[in-house]
A and B are shown apart, each in its own frame.
Chain A
Amino acid sequence: GAVVSQHPSWVICKSGTSVKIECRSLDFQATTMFWYRQFPKQSLMLMATSNEGSKATYEQGVEKDKFLINHASLTLSTLTVTSAHPEDSSFYICSASTGGRTYEQYFGPGTRLTVT
């Protein structure tokens, strides 16, 4: 149980284009979803937290107009990187929790984004 999927697993896009990443909880209802960014040999950096049907809460320093997050249902959240630039290249990972237990998160497999 507690399976989270992400799509796509990797994507290459040209500078200036937008990319959408999907995160789905497959066998549970995710009341809260999280988006992280991870650089090589670095820890997870929380970008934003979203609750179903509500606007996302962004961490300090994360541009909300660049990283659009939508949590439309209890099983789906999307991250759209708008007008991507090479510095946005990274490993993006989503996670989900249920029942208010935000300390117990189940992670997706991650999406590797490369912007050329």
Chain B
Amino acid sequence: QKEVEQDPGPLSVPEGAIVSLNCTYSNSAFQYFMWYRQYSRKGPELLMYTYSSGNKEDGRFTAQVDKSSKYISLFIRDSQPSDSATYLCAIVSSGGSYIPTFGRGTSLIVHP
């Protein structure tokens, strides 16, 4: 079992839809949870990070962490074609090097 599992998609939705992107993880020592957005042929861009269970909101984006289920989500409200990209979750364990373990990314397509 991989430490971080993420469905690669693609996930195709109409403009304006609410998008739910998810990751599961196996290591209960994971403490920091991040979401990156990567456009085609570009480097990842940090969207949000949190280190606690619950929700964190930033504009149209909401990150949700459920440590008891080892499950994290990113919700995008009012999705736009410009949101079309690959979204990678990244998780860090406490102690050690604090270097993230990345999911393989979910490809999102928002069509007009």
Contacts and interface: CB of A to CB of B under 8 A. Distances in A.
Interface of A: 4, 6, 34, 41-44, 46, 49, 91, 93, 95, 101-110, 112
A104 B105 CA distance: 18
A27 to B, nearest CB: 15
B97 interface: yes
A43 B99 contact: no
Contact of B103 (A4, A43, A93): A43
Interface stretch (B13-21, B39-47, B77-85): B39-47
Contacts of A41: 8, 104-105, 107
Interface of B: 6, 8, 32, 34, 36, 41-46, 49, 88, 92, 97-100, 102-105, 107
B42 A110 contact: yes
Contacts of B41: 91, 110, 112
Contact of A109 (B6, B42, B100, B105): B42
A92 B104 CA distance: 16
Contacts of B102: 43-44
